[in-house]
Structure 1
Amino acid sequence: MNLKINGLDDLDLQILEILIKDSRTPYLEIARKCHVSGGTIHVRMKKMEDLGIIQGTKLILDNSKLGYDVCCFVGIYLNKASSYNKVLEELETIKEIVELHYTTGQYSVFAKVICKSISDLQNLLVNKIQVIPEIQRTDTFISLSQPIDRNIQL
C-alpha cells in the first residue's frame, strides 16, 4: 500500500483491516497475521487510540430481540440555525435517539431513532421532539430493513 494516512503506515492499516473484519481478534493472532510481535501490535493499537482513530470498543445489540422493533430516521427543521445548540441539549435527553447528525440540505438535523412500537414512535414525535419550541417540523422515515451495516473498507 505504502500510504501514509494521518500518521498511519501499512502495518497500522493492515491491523485495522483485521479488526474491521472481527474486532475481537486477539493481539497475538493479529501479530501472527502481520508477522510482528504481540508487543508491536500493542504499541500500534495504543498509538491509534492516542490519535483518536480507534475510539474504544462498542457493544452491538440486536435491538429487535430486546423489543425495539421500529428503526426510523427523523429529519428535523429548525426555526433558526442559531437554535441548534439549544435543540441539541434537548435531543440529547431523549433515549430513543441513538444517532444525531447536523446536516446540510433539506434538514438541519437528522436523527436515527429506535422505538418499541409505532405508538411509541408517535409518542416520541408528538410529546418529546415536536414540543421543542425551536423545532419547526419533522419528517419521519421508517426503515423496513438494513441490508448493509459496515465500517469503511480500507
Structure 2
Amino acid sequence: MTSHAGINLDDLDLQILEILIKDARTPYLEIARVCHVSGGTIHVRMKKMEDLGIIKGTKILLDMPKLGYDVCCFVGIYLDKSSSFQAAIDELSKINEIVELHYTTGDYSIFTKLVCKNIAHLQDLLLNSINVISGVQRTDTFISLSQPLDRNIKL
C-alpha cells in the first residue's frame, strides 16, 4: 500500500494507473484481463480514484503543428504587484493560445505555455493580448525548438 498526501493506493490501483498512462482509452475489461480481476473491480477502483481526485478526467492529445500551430513557447510574466495576480490570471485564461498557466517562484509571477501559428501570431499575442493586461509589467519569451520528451511520471 502506497500513501501519498493521505491517499492510500495499493498495487492494483498503481497497476491500473500505469496501464492508463500508456493508453487512456484502454477498455476496463482489457485492464481487468491484464490485472487478473473482474471488470466490476476495475470500475469500482476507477470510481474511487476519480472521487479522490487522482484521476481528473481524460483529454485528447493534439499534434498542434498538424493543426497549423507551429510555434510552442513559454512566456514568463512579471506583474507590477502581487495584488494584480488574480485579475491577470482571469484575463490570461481568456487567451485560447495559452495552454498552461503556472504561479511560480523565482523571477516570474506567472509562467505560461502557449502555441501560435507563427512568429507574427506570437508577436500579436504579446503586443495586443498579454502585455496590455492591467498589472503585467513585462514579459520574457522562450521559443521551444523541439520537445524531445513528453511523458507522465512513472509510478
Note the C-alpha offset of 1:21.
1.2
CA distance in 2, matches of 1:46, 1:3: 18
Residue of structure 1 in register with 2:62 after alignment: 61
Number of equivalent positions: 153
Counterpart amino acid of residue 48 in structure 2: K
CA distance in 1, matches of 2:136, 2:102: 15
% same residue: 73
CA distance in 1, matches of 2:3, 2:91: 40
CA distance in 2, matches of 1:89, 1:24: 33
Residues 58-137 of structure 1 aligned to structure 2 (within 5 Å): 58-137=59-138
CA distance in 1, matches of 2:103, 2:89: 9
CA distance in 1, matches of 2:128, 2:97: 13
TM-score (norm 2): 0.96
Give a deviation string over 1:51-102, Cα, whole Å, max 9, x none. 1111111011111011000000000000001110010111111111110000
Structure 2 unmatched ranges of 5 or more: none
CA distance in 2, matches of 1:142, 1:85: 26
CA distance in 2, matches of 1:82, 1:131: 17
TM-score (norm 1): 0.96
**Partner secondary structure for residue 112 of structure 1:** strand
1:42 is the counterpart of 2:35: no
CA distance in 2, matches of 1:75, 1:144: 17
Q: Is the 8 A contact 2:2 2:8 kept in 1?
A: no
Structure 1 unmatched ranges of 5 or more: none
Residue of structure 2 in register with 1:30 after alignment: 31
